[in-house]
Amino acid sequence: MSNPLTSQQLDRVHRLIDQVAERQRNDFGHIVSDIKPDGSLITACDRWSDAAFVQGLEEIAPGEGVLSEEGSQECPSSRAYWVVDPLDGTTNFAAGIPYWAISIARFVDGEPSEAFLDIPSLRQRIVAIRGEGAWRNHKRLTPESRVAAGSACVSLCSRSIRVLQKRPDQSFPGKIRLLGVASLNLVSVAMGQTAGALEATPKIWDLAAAWLVLTELGCPLIWLGPQPAHLQPGCDLSEMGFPVVAAGSQKQLERLAPWGQSLLKG
């Protein structure tokens, strides 16, 4: 197994995220977006952030590949590699909605080992280390704090909203929230902000960091299609989605599971 990051490397990752988050805050409200071939938006800030992370991570951890939404989308062949979404929530960012995220996860032996989720507009950073736990702004998160929140909200992505049309005779088991940021939709479950989340078509860079946070805080998941663990080197992930249901408890997961299954129908 590849070694975990040293304290010095962790410090350098935090400084790199600080640098990119500051640039994004400065650019917010002053950007022009373009449309990518798949119809999604991209800005100059997306491109700059991606290039900064690719270069910075290669310097911090030489020899470890980087898979990113705006760069190489093939699974690296190195035993440890990084999965980066430099600006998750570009539609919000471009529309002047101050809610987006930086999502970074380091994979070791096929699964996330270290994860970093930064919300620049809120100056919040969530960090998870495999087997050690998760923290928000250096304060440890616990399953107990999630349960105490007692949220009745369920996060849906724009594509998973169609479950309401597929089951018109049944009441959805929660108050619906659409945040527009896949990584934060998922991590909201771990934080206790929502009781569950349905993501219909998340890419590996959307879920990589949130996946580890959920795991470290004991949140159960159901993968509705392919599982993101142990991806094959060289695999093109540009079009591969990993539909998932996440919940704050097994009971809530069982309530949401039929709705998740309905995502796959039709």
Residue type, 226: P
The mean per-residue pLDDT over the stretch 215-226 comes to: 96
244 vs 5, 11, 133, 185, CA distance in Å? Answer: 28, 32, 22, 11
Answer yes or no: same fold for 7-141 and 143-263.
no
- Which class is domain 143-263? alpha beta
Q: Which two tokens stand for residue 114?
A: 């270290």
Instruction: Out of 18-32, 86-100, 119-133, pick the least confident.
Output: 18-32
Residues 51, 55, 61, 66, CA torsion sign: positive
What is the torsional sign of CA 237, 239, 240, 246? positive
Residue 13 phi/psi, 5° resolution? Answer: -65, -45
Tokens matching residue 238: 């540009």
CATH topology of domain 7-141: Fructose-1,6-Bisphosphatase; Chain A, domain 1 (3.30.540)
Average pLDDT of the chain?
A: 92
Contact by Cβ (8 Å): 144, 161: no
The confidence score (pLDDT) of residue 136 equals: 96
Instruction: Give the mean pLDDT of 235-259.
Output: 95
pLDDT at 49: 95
pLDDT of residue 41: 52
- Give 2's pLDDT tier (boundaries 50, 70, 90): low
List pLDDT tens digits, range 33-86.
565 555 565 678 889 999 999 999 999 999 999 999 888 899 999 999 999 999
- Domain-wise residue ranges, the chain: 7-141, 143-263
pLDDT tens digits, residue range 136-179?
Answer: 999 999 998 877 777 899 999 988 988 888 888 889 999 999 99
pLDDT of residue 227: 93
